[in-house]
């Protein structure tokens, strides 16, 4: 394969992955016009249209999707081979891509970020905040951070935090006009602020374990969102009750900005773990990140 042909295929893969000429051009270090010309040359050489373009979107054609599906494993293997060279570097350097939810970013990454960057200036962290359940291998991440209950068994998992616990909270202003719930079933009479998974559209379960056993409560959602910061902001403003990780909002509870209810009904569950595929020749940059973030097990911090 000629160098120009490989460059054309690499350019096509970038556009197909990003669904954007602009983002792909930035990633490849090209101008959008140069990238568009490269894709046009590839399509002319193959005699097939690979991408459907509109003013708002870019998506592979049927032929383009077939090319993408067949090339992706080969490209991933080549990229992995290049990344693995970093395992032999004396000074770790390169990009470490981590997929993690917003709560984990606040509790796990924020406390260590500045010190890590000072200690390893050659390592660049690409942190992608993603509250959905993403396949980190398929999406090209080096590792992910999730609750231990969500980590696949074929992954290497490193514990980062103690167990977590959910909390039902509302602002003092909200409870000035609403009674404190005594059991989870009382929540059905309250306005609630609920997390909605962006990929499936499903609402996050309000699950409880207590003296009367386990139960899921169907709540009346006055606000739904796929962002925990927005849910927290709505709760602080008195919109309704929120169901959030206790450690994420501990500072607001301690300062009296949120009232914590139904505590005996919220039992601990597995804390956050860093997880990654078990592959030989781990890049040095990923290794130092893993070693840095796992020791010691990070204490939970408040939600300020």
Tokens 């990929």: give the residue. 199
Q: Rg for the chain (alpha carbons), in Å?
A: 23
Q: How far apart are CA 199 and CA 304, in angstroms?
A: 29
Listed range (15-19, 53-57, 123-127, 211-215) with the worst mean pLDDT: 53-57
pLDDT value of position 304: 38
Q: Residue 301: is its pLDDT beyond 90?
A: no
More confident residue, 169 or 6: 169
Listed range (20-34, 86-100, 143-157, 234-248) with the worst mean pLDDT: 86-100
Average pLDDT (77-97) is 71
- Please give the DSSP secondary-structure letter assigned to residue 148: G
pLDDT, tens digit (0-9, with 9 covering 90-100), for 218-274: 999 999 999 999 999 999 999 999 999 998 999 999 999 999 999 999 989 888 999
The confidence band for 283, taking pLDDT boundaries of 50, 70 and 90, is confident
Average pLDDT (54-60) is 83
Which residues, listed in sequence order, are joined to residue 91 by a DSSP beta bridge?
A: none
pLDDT, tens digit (0-9, with 9 covering 90-100), for 227-239: 999 999 999 999 9
pLDDT value of position 297: 52
Q: What is the DSSP string of 229-275?
A: HHHHHHHHTTS-EEEEEGGGSHHHHHTTSSEEE-GGG---B--EEEE
Q: What are phi and psi of 131, to 5 degrees?
A: -85, -5
Average pLDDT (41-57) is 87
Residues in the chain: 304
pLDDT value of position 1: 53
pLDDT value of position 168: 97
Instruction: Give whole-number Cα distances, 195 to 192, 205, 239, in Å.
Output: 10, 9, 14
The confidence band for 74, taking pLDDT boundaries of 50, 70 and 90, is confident
More confident residue, 71 or 256: 256
* Strand ranges in 24-148 using DSSP code E only, listed in sequence order: 51-53, 58-60, 94-100, 123-129, 143-147
The pLDDT mean for the chain works out to 87
Q: How far apart are CA 229 and CA 108, in angstroms?
A: 16
DSSP-based three-state secondary structure for 109? helix
Domains and CATH numbers, the chain: 3-85 (1.10.10.10), 93-163+270-294 (3.40.190.10), 166-265 (3.40.190.290)
pLDDT, tens digit (0-9, with 9 covering 90-100), for 156-213: 888 998 899 999 999 999 999 999 999 999 999 999 999 998 777 889 999 999 877 8
pTM value is: 0.62
Average pLDDT (41-56) is 88
Q: Residue 103: is its pLDDT beyond 70?
A: yes
The confidence band for 302, taking pLDDT boundaries of 50, 70 and 90, is very low
Beta carbons within 10 angstroms of residue 175's beta carbon: 18
């Amino acid at each position: 394969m000629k160098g120009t042909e490989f460059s054309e295929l690499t350019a096509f893969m970038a556009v197909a992955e990003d669904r954007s000429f602009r983002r792909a051009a930035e990633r490849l270090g090209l101008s959008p016009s140069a990238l568009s010309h490269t894709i046009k040359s590839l399509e002319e050489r193959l005699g097939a249209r690979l991408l459907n373009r509109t003013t708002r979107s870019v998506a592979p054609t049927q032929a383009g999707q077939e090319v993408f599906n067949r090339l992706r494993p080969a490209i991933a293997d080549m990229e992995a081979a290049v990344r693995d060279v970093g395992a032999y570097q004396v000074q770790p350097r390169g990009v470490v891509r981590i997929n993690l939810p917003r709560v984990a970013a606040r509790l796990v990454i924020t406390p260590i970020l500045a010190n890590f960057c000072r200690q390893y200036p050659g390592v660049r962290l690409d942190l992608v905040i993603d509250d959905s359940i993403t396949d980190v291998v398929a999406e090209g991440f080096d590792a992910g951070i999730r609750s231990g209950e969500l980590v696949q068994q074929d992954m290497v998992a490193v514990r980062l935090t103690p167990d977590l616990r959910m909390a039902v909270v509302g602002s003092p202003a909200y409870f000035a006009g609403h009674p404190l719930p005594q059991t989870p079933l009382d929540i059905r009479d309250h306005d609630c602020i609920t997390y909605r998974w962006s990929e499936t559209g499903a609402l996050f379960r309000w699950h409880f374990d207590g003296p009367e056993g386990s139960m899921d409560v169907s709540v009346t959602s006055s606000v739904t969102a796929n962002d925990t910061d927005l849910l927290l902001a709505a709760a602080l403003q008195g919109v309704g009750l929120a169901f959030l990780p206790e450690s994420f909002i501990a500072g607001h509870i301690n300062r009296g900005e949120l009232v914590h209810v139904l505590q005996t009904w919220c039992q601990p569950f597995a804390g956050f773990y860093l997880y990654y595929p078990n592959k030989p020749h781990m890049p040095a940059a990923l290794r130092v990140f893993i070693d840095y973030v796992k020791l010691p097990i990070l204490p939970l911090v408040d939600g300020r």
